[in-house]
């Protein structure tokens, strides 16, 4: 089967939070339906979906192209915008970066991190030209279209400044810079395009045509418009708000070729770029930091600490030799399995911060889940449940026939949880410890409330409809199931056009990611500075042509 002669290099998935409305599995299906051999992920200022994207594309037989739409600061233009009494930085310009190789993916991760970590609190995520210069290796740059740093200056009538900026980018990305053109029917695009084409030809830079995809098809346009209103606190009826067009959808290759029939090289270059990119995020086994000075010392350290801890437990229980024998046998068995499976260091790490918390008077739970079945964990005071007394099985927790990381369910007092995290940072290094994020989804009730607000429906009416959706946090009910199982919702839908519109939009938005926040206590501990992991977390992507 022949493949399409255009691929999308500008796609915002659901991980462009409260902005993109294309779920990654749906993106894979779209590529397959349109015979596109490759596709790029270019979420706004993040790589949240990188691994999920790679796995879904490979399963669908589509080459994944790793990318990101980053915000480029305008500080070097020497301007600030007045907002009341204060001054703020000018809004940054979008720029698209695609990883060619392992070095490029490493630099993409560094730039994405710098966008958040290297700016003052409260500032929008963005990087500067100096950041691009430091981390340009292995990256292909697309200039961002009419709203990018070059296109914006052209649209403002600043031709010389636009040329200077384009020359700067060409110097940073020699042989890896493409002048990006987009045609969504926006006036800014019409103003900027002649200048972009002229500069590209004059500076001998290649053109590339992209479509800034935020949703799958035209039937999703209204729902996506509502999503932008939810994100911006606006109403659908408002005129002065962010708007996209129905053309910000996943178009077919044929549509794009017709749209750019006058510049066929611009669509053909999408395949050239995709062929130049051969790297992908790779799933890998956990990498644990060394608890002892030498990793080889960990089995002996674990054995010593566990045996000493068990003797203290036996003494506390007042067991005689006969009663203590089963505990010692169980401990010896568990230690053999733990050490052979290579998890001695893991137990020592977990025991260390739990013992520290208890010594600091921070309330710690007694232990939950399958980890409570470990005698070693009990001896190390990771748990406080006697596994033999309660007949708990170690094999449910750790089993040589099903190799997986041990999983302890640990509860710390929420008022002093930060102290434990700070201890871990001081123990292993602040640059080797990071909290993870969690994504807030638009669940059924939340979707109804948010869409009801942007439609300006009466609060009481929306609240009444929401209460018809069962509330089960442990097993959330989808809106589709709620409608199917609730005759009152069906009646409201069938008798009121506004309610029907509310439900239709909410059904389309349900399950999309709305925001990211710091996980309560999810922490990554590395064996090296986390920024240096970049070069060891990517591999060469297969070509799917």
Residue 341 backbone phi and psi in degrees, to 5: -85, -5
- Confidence at residue 79, expressed as pLDDT on a 0 to 100 scale: 46
Q: Looking at the structure, do residues 432 and 456 belong to the same domain, yes or no?
A: no
Q: Looking at the structure, do residues 254 and 303 belong to the same domain, yes or no?
A: no
Assign residue 477 the CATH number of its domain.
1.10.10.1600
- Residue-range definition of the domain harbouring residue 473: 444-519
Residues 6 or more apart whose CB falls under 8 angstroms from that of 296 comprise: none
Residue 7 lies in a domain: no
- Confidence at residue 84, expressed as pLDDT on a 0 to 100 scale: 47
Q: Looking at the structure, do residues 278 and 309 belong to the same domain, yes or no?
A: no
- Cβ distance 277 to 42 under 8 Å? no
Instruction: Count up the domains in the chain and report the number.
Output: 3
Q: Looking at the structure, do residues 400 and 317 belong to the same domain, yes or no?
A: yes
Q: Looking at the structure, do residues 89 and 181 belong to the same domain, yes or no?
A: yes
Residue 94 lies in a domain: yes
Q: Looking at the structure, do residues 514 and 403 belong to the same domain, yes or no?
A: no
- Cβ distance 166 to 205 under 8 Å? yes
Per run of 10 residues, the mean pLDDT along the chain (length 545 residues) is: 91 97 97 97 96 96 97 70 56 96 95 91 90 97 97 95 97 98 97 97 98 98 98 95 97 98 98 96 83 84 96 96 96 96 94 96 93 96 95 91 84 91 93 90 95 97 96 88 96 97 98 88 85 60 55
Residue 187 lies in a domain: yes
Q: How far is CA 229 from CA 224, 234, 244, in A?
A: 9, 5, 11
Q: Looking at the structure, do residues 262 and 116 belong to the same domain, yes or no?
A: yes
Q: Looking at the structure, do residues 513 and 427 belong to the same domain, yes or no?
A: no
- Confidence at residue 90, expressed as pLDDT on a 0 to 100 scale: 85
Q: Looking at the structure, do residues 67 and 173 belong to the same domain, yes or no?
A: yes
CA-closest candidate to residue 244, choices 446, 26, 12: 12
**Residue whose entry in the numeric block shows the structure tokens 């909290």:** 435
Residue 220 lies in a domain: no
- Confidence at residue 517, expressed as pLDDT on a 0 to 100 scale: 86
- Confidence at residue 189, expressed as pLDDT on a 0 to 100 scale: 97
Q: Are strands 207-209 and 177-181 parallel, antiparallel or unpaired?
A: parallel
């Amino acid at each position: 089967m022949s493949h399409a002669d255009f691929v999308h290099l500008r796609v915002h998935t659901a991980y462009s939070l409260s902005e993109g409305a294309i779920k990654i599995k749906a993106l894979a299906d779209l590529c397959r339906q349109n015979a596109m051999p490759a596709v790029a992920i270019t979420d706004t200022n993040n790589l949240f979906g990188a691994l999920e994207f790679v796995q879904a594309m490979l399963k669908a037989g589509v080459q994944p192209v790793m990318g990101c739409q980053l915000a480029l600061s305008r500080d070097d233009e020497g301007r600030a915008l007045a907002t009341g009494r204060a001054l703020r930085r000018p809004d940054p310009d979008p720029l698209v970066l695609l990883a060619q190789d392992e070095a490029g993916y490493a630099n993409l991760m560094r730039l994405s991190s710098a966008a958040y970590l290297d700016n003052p609190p409260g500032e929008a995520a963005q990087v500067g030209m100096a950041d691009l210069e430091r981390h340009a290796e292995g990256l292909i740059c697309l200039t961002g279209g009419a709203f990018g740093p070059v296109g914006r200056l052209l649209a403002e009538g600043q031709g010389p400044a636009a040329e200077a900026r384009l020359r700067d980018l060409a110097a940073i990305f020699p042989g890896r810079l493409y002048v990006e053109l987009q045609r969504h029917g926006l006036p800014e695009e019409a103003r900027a395009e002649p200048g972009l084409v002229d500069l590209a030809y004059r500076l001998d830079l290649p053109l590339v045509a992209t479509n800034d995809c935020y949703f799958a098809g035209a039937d999703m346009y209204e729902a996506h418009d509502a999503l932008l209103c939810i994100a911006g606190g606006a109403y659908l009826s408002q005129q002065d708000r962010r708007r996209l067009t129905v053309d910000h959808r996943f178009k077919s290759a044929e549509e794009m070729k017709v749209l750019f029939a006058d510049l066929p090289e611009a669509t053909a270059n999408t395949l050239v770029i995709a062929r130049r990119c051969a790297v992908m995020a790779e799933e890998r086994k956990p990498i644990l930091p060394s608890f002892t000075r030498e990793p080889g010392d960990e089995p002996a350290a674990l054995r010593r600490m566990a045996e000493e801890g068990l003797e203290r437990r036996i003494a506390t229980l007042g067991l005689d030799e006969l009663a203590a024998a089963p505990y010692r046998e169980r401990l010896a068995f568990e230690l053999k399995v733990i050490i052979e499976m290579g998890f001695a260091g893991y137990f020592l790490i977990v025991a260390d911060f739990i013992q520290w918390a208890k010594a600091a008077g921070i309330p710690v739970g007694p232990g939950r889940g399958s980890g409570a079945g470990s005698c070693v964990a009990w001896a190390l005071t990771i748990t406080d449940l006697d596994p033999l007394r309660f007949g708990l099985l170690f094999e449910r927790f750790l089993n040589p026939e099903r190799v997986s990381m041990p999983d302890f369910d640990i509860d710390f007092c929420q008022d002093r949880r930060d102290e434990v995290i700070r201890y871990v940072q001081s123990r292993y290094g602040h640059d080797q410890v990071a909290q993870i994020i969690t994504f807030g989804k638009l669940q059924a009730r939340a979707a109804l409330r948010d869409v009801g607000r942007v439609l300006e429906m009466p609060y009481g009416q929306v609240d009444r409809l929401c209460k018809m959706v069962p509330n089960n946090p442990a097993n959330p009910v989808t809106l589709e199931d709620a409608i199917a199982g609730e005759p009152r919702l069906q009646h409201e839908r069938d008798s009121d056009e506004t309610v029907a519109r509310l439900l239709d939009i909410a059904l389309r938005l349900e399950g999309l990611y709305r925001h990211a926040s710091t996980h309560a206590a999810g922490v990554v501990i590395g064996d090296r500075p986390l920024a240096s992991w970049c070069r060891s977390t990517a591999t060469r992507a297969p070509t799917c042509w």
